[in-house]
Amino acid sequence: MTNPAESDQAILAASAMRETTADGTRADRESGGRWLTLALVAAAYIAAALPGVLVALPPGYSSPVWPAAGLALAALLVLGPRL
Backbone angles phi, psi at 48, to 5 degrees: -80, -20
Q: How far is CA 22 from the centre of its chain?
A: 26
pLDDT digits (tens, 9 = 90+) for 17-47: 555 556 655 555 566 788 899 999 999 999 9
Residues 6 or more apart in contact with residue 28 via CB below 8 angstroms? 17, 18, 34
**pTM for the whole structure:** 0.57
Instruction: Name the pairing type of β-strands 26-28 and 18-20.
Output: antiparallel
pLDDT digits (tens, 9 = 90+) for 56-81: 888 777 788 889 999 999 999 999 98
- Cβ count near 68 (within 10 Å): 19
| Residues spanned by the domain of 16 | 4-79
Q: How many domains would you assign to the chain?
A: 1
